[in-house]
Structure 1
Amino acid sequence: MSWPMGEVCRMSGVTSRTLRHYHHVGLLLPESTGPGGLRHYGRRELRRLQRILVMRELGLGLADIRRVLDSEHDEVTALRQHLHDLEAERDRLSLLVETVRRTVDALEENDVSGNPEELFAGFDTDHYTERARTEWPEQWDQAKAAGERITPEEADRMRAEAAEQMTRMAGHLRAGSPPDSPAVQAEIEIHYQQVSLMWAPDADSFAHLGRVYAEDGPWREVYERVAPGLADFQSEAMRVYAERRLSGEDG
């Protein structure tokens, strides 16, 4: 039994453009191609697509996914390894959520005591490092050069400020403040300045970064567990900021 591309898109949530790209790069070939170039996928191809999506969620790029799939010979063993990786990522995200929640509680209680290392439990930058390196090479080079100049103490301070900014945004969301409100935009200005310490975002790249927060699996998971709706709220606020402050429309 096989399924046409449209049905595969419906079941998986993957766009037809993505499936065509996977075909073009040799990552996922259809089982057959019918009249007019209509692609059909069998169960084997659907399982391969599942594994591709799992590895994308784990932060692998397409080239790395291709190498992994080409090196696998036992499908059951491979899926067990993916399951293990997903469970490890779930545990890491759970730890990260608790880290941010502790920060929220401490800020609400005006408690500045405690071990500062607890602010960063569960953070893993490998996923974002690889994505930045492949998708935004120019910004990656800027951030890498900036990172080499930053002391460990400065890096700790920047991470703490970023965590605090996230919790303040969650407070604005709970209070019902719109993304374009002055208070929310003031927070986005702080976030923009934080990002600018590492690389120079323009209107397009800053708005795109906001979309990454809303669309990327690990980032969205973190934001949503801090406060439901926070990922989209942050993304929209960054879009407004980019349009108003970075596009040159306001002079």
Structure 2
Amino acid sequence: MSWSISEVARVSGVTTRTLRHYDAIGLLPPDHVGANGYRYYERPQLLRLQRILLLRELGLGLPQIEAVLAGSVDEREALRLHREEMLAARDRLDDLLVTIDATIAELDGGPELTAEELFAGFDQRRAELEERLVAAHGEGVRQHFAVSAERTREWTAEDHLAAREQGEDLLRRMALLARADVAPDSPGALELIGEHHLGIRAFWEPDRSSYVGLAEFYLNDPEQRSNLDRIDPLLAPWLHEAMTAFAASHWRT
């Protein structure tokens, strides 16, 4: 028995856009494509999709899932590595919570924090992020971080938290469009990406290449992907497509 892409979307709860994306990256090709151009799936593809969704629920990103399904990575080892990443992320959050609690205590009349104490959690997280981006895109990334550090030199902890909350609110609004299967290159999508671009410009000035590189980093970096997947598993591929479309329209060659 064959299922059309719309039928698979209905029974699995995965959008047709996500299924097309899985096909495009080679993660879940259909069994065949009909003369009408529609994708059709058989039971083996449904079983593969079920496993993809199970691994995704466990927090693995698409590159990890693809490696597991290809047999190049042992599933248990992939989960162990993911557990280590989550523990490291938890440690970073614990550091930020200590900073937040100390800031609240100061605002309530407690002892004044030193500058080092005020930004301890932020500085560590920024340094780790810088090294991952350098590994992915080269030493030129350090210049962007230097610019960002200078622009935010006078920021308070409240400023950093406000920027983070604004960014997460924007991501949640993007996730709603992704969940509604709104095309990443549609006017509404590009309007939200325009907000994202303006937010990035508060820290550093991207060009077309660096903005597309940032989109790829969101999609492929395990920590960034995990953060986006926690908001909505559909968000990362949608955001990657939308940022790429925005770059093509904003920086016309």
Give the TM-score, by structure 1 length. 0.50
